[in-house]
Structure 1
Amino acid sequence: MIDLHTHTVFSDGELIPAELVRRAEVVGYKALCMTDHADESTLYFTVENILRFVKRHGYFYDITILAGVELTHIPPPLIGEMTLKAREAGAQIVVMHGETPVEPVAPGTNLAAIEAGVDILAHPGLITEEEVALAAEKGVALEITTRGGHSYTNGHVAALARRLGARLVVNNDAHSPRDLVSRELRRTIALGAGLTTEEYRQTEANAREIVERCLRRTAR
């Protein structure tokens, strides 16, 4: 199992990084990225501190840990600039807080994030066909989420991704220990969104590819 969208006390999560990683390790996750919410005011502080933890503590766990960020409620005209700043700050994975149906995310966020080339567009809500096609073209992964509320449109995302060839990943958007769901529940949520067993396996392969790509990028 791989989870590329999680939160710590550096935004609205309940756990410090060490406890989040340890709990994920015990549940059976093999890779995890901490992607705390950030905007212009918190980006550098958040990424710097998570990256310090990853570099100092990462070798002591039987789990690959990455330092990322979830750009959240960024005005669409600034998303491209903020994506570049996040990478320059050291974020290994850039997630965009997409147009979930349960929050007032600004219209145009999904499109701007895809155009900016973020790694993952989280809970993209009622994403359009044109946006999904562009995500497929640019290699931006779309998220099937296990988190309540955000998950309301999983079926819509899955159906369009299948038809238009976009990559999918399954993430927990974990904020607390109970959000680190089991392998079986992850699979059930994915199949409930309409994925086949083979398509679910492909989401795992997609997540592995993102981790490997980010590690290569970091090593350069």
Structure 2
Amino acid sequence: MVYDFHLHTFYSDGELSPVELVRRAVERGYTALAITDHAGVGGVHELIRRLQADREIIERYWPIKVVIGVELTHLPPESIFEAANLAREAGAELIVLHGETPVEPVLPGTVHAGIVSGVVDLIGHPGLIGEEEARLAREYDVFFELSARRGHSLTNGHVAKLAQAYGVKLVVNSDGHSPDDLLTADFQRLVARGAGVPESLLADVLTNWPEELLQRALSRRQ
């Protein structure tokens, strides 16, 4: 089984349509995925409306759960609460925040603002976060991502270490933009182990916590 809560389509900077992306994911053994195209404030309602129409066809015929979400990307930290609430009102079932990855110029304070917003569910590639962000993520029940994407994955070990120290839930995502980015169960396990996740925690990281996040998102379906 593969759960992947961070994928992009041609509605932002991905290569595939939502339908083709999901079809390829089914062939890879995916159980569930979230389409989380990059978003700010403009165009969120139209994006979600289009994805809802595609999902209706996908889930009618294929054995996979599709979550409709957004990845709030490169926003001023002060605007994250507003943008996240707008996306939720538009029908987003999962709010991913583009974290402070070391390979992009994300503003400092982004992760902190996303966590304390109370609306963000998952911090994608959190970067070189501090103990305060980890403590708050546990308090607000915000998930951290271990990223399979080159560059973003540089801080996976740091993120995994802090998450384990403070009891933050982890998931492994692809941040997929192309067909080759899609995960397999074996590669997902390798990413987790490479980040320092012990064997005793793998069932939580690869199955139990992803299932919890999935159920949270499904409870918001309109």
Q: TM-score, normalised by structure 2?
A: 0.96
2:190 paired residue among 183, 188, 191: 188
Structure 1: how far apart are the matches of 2:57 and 2:184? Answer: 28
Question: Gaps spanning 5+ residues in structure 1: where?
Answer: none
Structure 2: how far apart are the matches of 1:197 and 1:49? Answer: 40
Deviations 1:109-151 (A, max 9, x none): 0000001131100001001100110000100000001111000
Q: Which residue is 1:149 aligned to? A: 151
Q: Does 1:212 align with 2:215?
A: yes
* Percent identity (aligned): 47
1:131 paired residue among 133, 137, 142: 133
Q: Which residue is 2:175 aligned to? A: 173
Deviations 1:132-183 (A, max 9, x none): 1000010000000111100000000000000011111110001011101221
Q: Does 1:72 align with 2:84?
A: no
What is the Cα deviation at residue 26 of structure 1? 0.5
Structure 2: how far apart are the matches of 1:43 and 1:64? Answer: 21
Question: Gaps spanning 5+ residues in structure 2: where?
Answer: none
Structure 2: how far apart are the matches of 1:61 and 1:207? Answer: 20
Of structures 1 and 2, the one with the larger relative CO (CA 8 A, separation 6+) is 2
Structure 2: how far apart are the matches of 1:17 and 1:77? Answer: 31
CA RMSD between the two structures: 1.0
Q: Aligned ranges for residues 80-119 of structure 1 at < 5 Å?
A: 80-117=81-118, 118-119=120-121
What is the Cα deviation at residue 56 of structure 1? 3.7
Structure 1: how far apart are the matches of 2:6 and 2:143? Answer: 12
What is the Cα deviation at residue 63 of structure 1? 0.6
- For these two proteins, the number of residue pairs brought into alignment is 219
Structure 1: how far apart are the matches of 2:52 and 2:72? Answer: 16
As a proportion of its length, which structure holds more strand?
2
> Is the contact made by 1:93 and 1:214 (CA closer than 8 Å) also made in structure 2?
yes
Structure 1: how far apart are the matches of 2:184 and 2:58? Answer: 24
What is the Cα deviation at residue 217 of structure 1? 2.5
